């Protein structure tokens, strides 16, 4: 288990820089007024495929040997990683096999197919997904790219915070959501390498608080029955992610579903940006803990913007 | 009736530049693929108060003499101009009186009040609005700032296209929606001053096509009973606006309601940007007239992003 470091993030940026968007950083005087903080938002919802996941997927795919590339990549996912991996692979003319549960939303199936992914459907259980992926990977000799428990993926995700710190160097607190920990571990590596004083604070729905509990316990406690509107954060921490997080993250805060929806609505209404619920979790943590962030310069990575417009929480 | 020219737009930019956002220009490879055009979107939905209207309001307010400023400004509006005028006035510590119909949406009342506007309610008829404004203006000695039929307002709106052309100089077709014609007349002045070849094409809902009909007839034909989801485009052309438009605009295209909703949805889903229906009208015109725009470099001014999230068309 190779733990990536900041040097890997520098390499990831060199390898993927020509293919990913250097996403804009936005501010909102209304949200600053409401929170009492000075918040900078890094808009990964405007990243290709609509989420930061494209960074890690590109780095993993572009790092393959020619021989690995010729055989293709695979993953099981019904979310942003699937679309990101399919698109990253298509850029290099590499086959991407995506195992999806048969009941995945039509819109997600279309997205993956639209990026050229080869979909294999399976029963909607984790066991079936893993077994199906394993079978397909063996048959085709695929390199399996885990959505977060993968050093190349982590290094790719870390390029977002690297860009962010280089553009806004005086950030005092860096925040992102935590699900499997891919974004958080990459972010923490970049922040701690680039600043001696900037704190890293993760935010997590209290209905899916395995990272919060694992961080306190010092060992991974997987989610049992996570329930949250933030559908990108249902997964449990990966091992590589946790190794990085327990050393480089300062705090993990949990938030209520009501705060997530309130924060999401603020970004939609005040910033005119479409973000998915997972992206709203850090701002929700600021709303719930005003005193912690007042008069601080805070960076938030808006992780993604893929949401079904027919199923909004307001 | 003083017709503004490009020199007025240069002056407007000097006067307001420190207060308005130089909004970003964004692109979408997905939308380019769908339309066959290369489209650049100028994001005035990210402008302060959520619409381009802030540009014109600032220029009008900042151009007042000290004596006029001491007495305040007034307008009747339930839309983006009201919020923009209230906020522009508040920046300079000037009173802004806004006449609104008593049945205006709660969200619009709150926005105007939030920017410090002094609201006077009246019956929901144009006659009552004009009479009430006239009475309040007489009592207080207000300078009335018309939302579009005003040279300073037009010059302010023209700064958006000026910024746009300077950032993306090779645009071949510039597009914006047309309602009263404030944005279109300002845009046309900037484009024709800065390019000898760029065409200006306006887009209008076919359910509110007074500009289309006026442009063809050569004289103003007001809207009788306009009906469209694009609530910012229900107004009829102003006289000053029409004088500029009939000389400087190349074409006006009308579009169906279905195309407006389709275009709006594309921008929401593919660009993760919240735009109001009026902003989607130019892209709707491209969807309906693919051949006209194929392989062209097209600029679209996304006019605003103020929309009630509880009342979406999808």
Q: What is the pLDDT of residues A139-152, one digit of tens each?
A: 999 999 999 999 99
Query: Strand, helix or coil at A120?
Result: strand
3-state secondary structure chain B: CCCCCHHHHHHHHHHHCCCCCCCCEECCHHHHHHHCCEEEEEEHHHCHHHECHHHHHHHHHHCCCHHHHHHCEEEECCCHHHHHHHHHHHHCCCCEEEEEECCCCHHHHHHHHHCCCEEEEECCCHHHHHHHHHHHHHHHCCEECCCCCCHHHHHHHHHHHHHHHHHCCCCCEEEEECCCCHHHHHHHHHHHHHCCCCEEEEEEEHHHCHHHHHHHHCCCCCCCCCCCCCHHHCCCCCHHHHHHHHHHCCEEEEECHHHHHHHHHHHHHHHCECCCHHHHHHHHHHHHCHHHHCCCEEEEEECECCCCCCCCCC
Residues, chain A: 314
Q: Do A26 and B45 touch (CB under 8 A)?
A: no
A231 in the same domain as A160? yes
Cα gap B208→B260, rounded to integer Å: 13
User: For position A79, what pLDDT does the model report?
Assistant: 86
A171 in the same domain as A47? yes
Instruction: Point out the residue among B274, B309, B314 whose CB comes nearest to the CB of A314.
Output: B309
Q: Do A312 and B312 touch (CB under 8 A)?
A: yes
Q: Which of these three, B91, B126, B144, is where a domain ends?
A: B144
The number of CA neighbours under 13 Å toward the Cβ of B271 is 27
Closest residue in chain A to residue B268, using alpha carbons only: A274
Nearest CA distance, B60 vs chain A (angstrom): 23
Closest residue in chain A to residue B273, using alpha carbons only: A273
On whether residue A309 sits in a domain, the answer given is no
Q: Do B309 and A273 touch (CB under 8 A)?
A: no
Q: Do A45 and B305 touch (CB under 8 A)?
A: no
The DSSP 8-state label assigned to residue A6 in this structure reads: H
Query: Strand, helix or coil at A300?
Result: strand
Q: Write out chain B residues lying below 8 Å of A305, CB-based.
A: 272
β-pair type (B38-43, B25-26): antiparallel
B43 in the same domain as B65? no
A280 in the same domain as A173? yes
Q: Do B46 and A275 touch (CB under 8 A)?
A: no
Cα gap B158→B55, rounded to integer Å: 8
Global pTM? 0.95
User: For position A124, what pLDDT does the model report?
Assistant: 86
- Opening angle at CA B187, ends B288 and B91, nearest 5: 120
Q: Write out chain B residues lying below 8 Å of A308, CB-based.
A: none
3-state secondary structure B226-244: CCCCCHHHCCCCCHHHHHH
Q: Write out chain B residues lying below 8 Å of A90, CB-based.
A: none
Residues of chain A with pLDDT under 70: none
Cα gap A209→B66, rounded to integer Å: 58
Q: Do B269 and A26 touch (CB under 8 A)?
A: no
On whether residue B1 sits in a domain, the answer given is no
**What is the radius of gyration, based on Cα positions, of chain B?**
18
Instruction: Point out the residue among A46, A50, A272 whose CB comes nearest to the CB of B274.
Output: A272
On whether residue B307 sits in a domain, the answer given is no
The helix (run of H) or strand (run of E) holding residue A255 is: strand A251-255
Helix, strand and coil content of chain A, in percent to the nearest 5, comes to 50, 15, 30
The DSSP 8-state label assigned to residue A78 in this structure reads: S
State the distance between the two ends of chain A, measured CA to CA, in whole angstroms: 43
The helix (run of H) or strand (run of E) holding residue A40 is: strand A38-43
B38 in the same domain as B156? yes
Nearest CA distance, B58 vs chain A (angstrom): 18
Q: Do B50 and A275 touch (CB under 8 A)?
A: no
- pLDDT by residue for chain B (314 residues), tens only, comes to 789 999 999 999 999 999 999 999 999 999 999 999 999 999 999 999 999 999 999 999 999 999 999 999 999 987 899 999 999 999 999 999 999 988 888 888 888 999 999 999 999 888 999 999 999 999 999 999 999 999 999 999 999 999 999 999 999 999 999 999 999 999 999 999 999 999 999 999 999 999 999 999 999 999 889 999 999 999 999 999 999 999 999 999 999 999 999 999 999 999 999 999 999 999 999 999 999 999 999 999 999 999 999 889 99
B208 in the same domain as B155? yes
CATH code of the domain in which B70 resides: 3.40.50.1100
For residue A256, give the nearest of A235, A277, A225 by alpha carbon.
A277
Instruction: Point out the residue among B24, B273, B309 whose CB comes nearest to the CB of A269.
Output: B309
Find the domain containing A207 and state its range.
Answer: 6-51+150-302
Cα gap B311→B15, rounded to integer Å: 37
Tokens 């309602």, residue located: B179
The helix (run of H) or strand (run of E) holding residue A140 is: helix A126-140
Tokens 């606006």, residue located: B241
Looking at the structure of chain B, the number of domains it has is 2
User: For position B299, what pLDDT does the model report?
Assistant: 98
A45, A264, A272, A275: which to substitute to probe chain B, counting the most B Cβ within 10 Å? A272
Cα gap B221→B230, rounded to integer Å: 19
A161 in the same domain as A14? yes
Q: Are B4 and B239 spatial neighbours (Cβ–Cβ below 8 Å)?
A: no
| B120 exposure class (CB count in 10 Å sphere: 0-12, 13-18, 19+) | middle
Q: Write out chain A residues lying below 8 Å of B263, CB-based.
A: none
On whether residue A1 sits in a domain, the answer given is no
Cα gap B24→B46, rounded to integer Å: 8
Cα gap B6→A187, rounded to integer Å: 47
The DSSP 8-state label assigned to residue A63 in this structure reads: T
Nearest CA distance, B266 vs chain A (angstrom): 11
Nearest CA distance, A270 vs chain B (angstrom): 8
Q: Do B273 and A272 touch (CB under 8 A)?
A: yes
Q: Write out chain B residues lying below 8 Å of A314, CB-based.
A: 309-310
| CB-CB neighbours of A18 under 10 Å | 7
B112-120 long-range CB contacts below 8 Å, 24 or more apart?
Answer: B112/B82, B112/B83, B112/B86, B115/B49, B115/B83, B115/B86, B115/B87, B115/B90, B116/B86, B116/B87, B116/B89, B116/B90, B117/B82, B117/B83, B117/B85, B117/B86, B117/B89, B117/B90
User: For position A200, what pLDDT does the model report?
Assistant: 98
A109 in the same domain as A187? no
B24, B265, B272, B304: which to substitute to probe chain A, counting the most A Cβ within 10 Å? B272
A282 in the same domain as A174? yes
On whether residue B275 sits in a domain, the answer given is yes
Q: Which of these three, B115, B144, B173, is where a domain ends?
A: B144
A25-29 long-range CB contacts below 8 Å, 24 or more apart?
Answer: A25/A164, A25/A167, A25/A168, A26/A271, A26/A273, A26/B46, A28/A267, A28/A270, A28/A271
On whether residue A308 sits in a domain, the answer given is no
B63 in the same domain as B40? no
Nearest CA distance, A218 vs chain B (angstrom): 38
Q: Which of these three, B85, B118, B144, is where a domain ends?
A: B144
B140 in the same domain as B62? yes
Q: In what order do the strands lie in the sheet with A173-177?
A: A25-26, A38-43, A297-302, A173-177, A199-205, A251-255
Q: Write out chain B residues lying below 8 Å of A46, CB-based.
A: 26, 271-272
Give me the DSSP letters along A151-184. Answer: HHHHHHHHHHHHHHHHHSTT-SEEEEE-SSSHHH
On whether residue B105 sits in a domain, the answer given is yes
Closest residue in chain B to residue A115, using alpha carbons only: B30
* Torsion sign (Cα): B56, B281, A31, B25: negative
Q: Write out chain B residues lying below 8 Å of A273, CB-based.
A: 272-274
Q: What is the pLDDT of residues A227-272, one digit of tens each?
A: 999 999 999 999 999 999 999 999 999 999 999 999 999 999 999 9
Q: Are B192 and B200 spatial neighbours (Cβ–Cβ below 8 Å)?
A: yes
A179 in the same domain as A95? no
State residue B236 phi and psi, 5-degree precision. Answer: -100, 155
Burial profile A95-128: b = 16 or more Cβ within 10 angstroms, e = fewer: bbbbbbbeebeeebbebbeebebbbbebeeeeeb
On whether residue A79 sits in a domain, the answer given is yes
β-pair type (A38-43, A25-26): antiparallel
């Amino acid at each position: 288990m190779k733990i990536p470091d900041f040097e890997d993030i520098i390499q990831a940026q060199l390898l993927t820089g020509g293919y990913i968007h250097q996403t804009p950083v936005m501010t909102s005087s209304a949200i600053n007024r409401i929170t009492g903080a000075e918040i900078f938002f890094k808009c990964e919802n405007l990243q290709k495929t609509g989420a930061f996941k494209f960074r890690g997927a590109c780095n993993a795919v572009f790092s393959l040997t020619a021989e690995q590339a010729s055989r293709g990549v695979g993953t099981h996912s019904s979310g942003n990683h699937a679309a990101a991996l399919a698109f990253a692979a298509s850029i290099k003319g590499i086959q991407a096999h995506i195992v999806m549960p048969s009941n995945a939303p039509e819109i997600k199936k279309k997205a993956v197919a639209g990026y050229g992914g080869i979909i294999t459907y399976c029963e909607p259980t984790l066991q079936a997904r893993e077994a199906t992926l394993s079978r397909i990977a063996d048959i085709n000799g695929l390199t399996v790219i885990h959505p977060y428990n993968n050093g190349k993926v982590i290094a790719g995700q870390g390029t977002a915070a690297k860009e962010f710190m280089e553009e806004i160097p005086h950030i005092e607190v860096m925040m992102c959501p935590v699900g499997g920990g891919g974004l958080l571990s990459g972010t923490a590596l970049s922040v701690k390498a680039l600043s001696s004083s900037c704190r890293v604070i993760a935010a997590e729905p209290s209905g899916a608080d395995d990272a919060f509990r694992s961080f306190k316990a010092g060992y991974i406690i997987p989610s049992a029955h996570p329930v949250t509107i933030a559908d990108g954060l249902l997964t449990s921490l990966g091992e590589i992610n946790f190794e990085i997080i327990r050393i480089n993250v300062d705090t993990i805060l949990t938030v209520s579903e009501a705060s997530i929806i309130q924060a999401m609505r603020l970004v939609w209404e005040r910033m005119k940006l479409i973000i998915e619920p997972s992206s709203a979790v850090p701002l929700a943590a600021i709303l719930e803990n005003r005193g912690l962030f007042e008069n601080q310069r805070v960076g938030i990575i808006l992780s993604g913007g893929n949401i079904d417009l027919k199923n909004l929480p307001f």
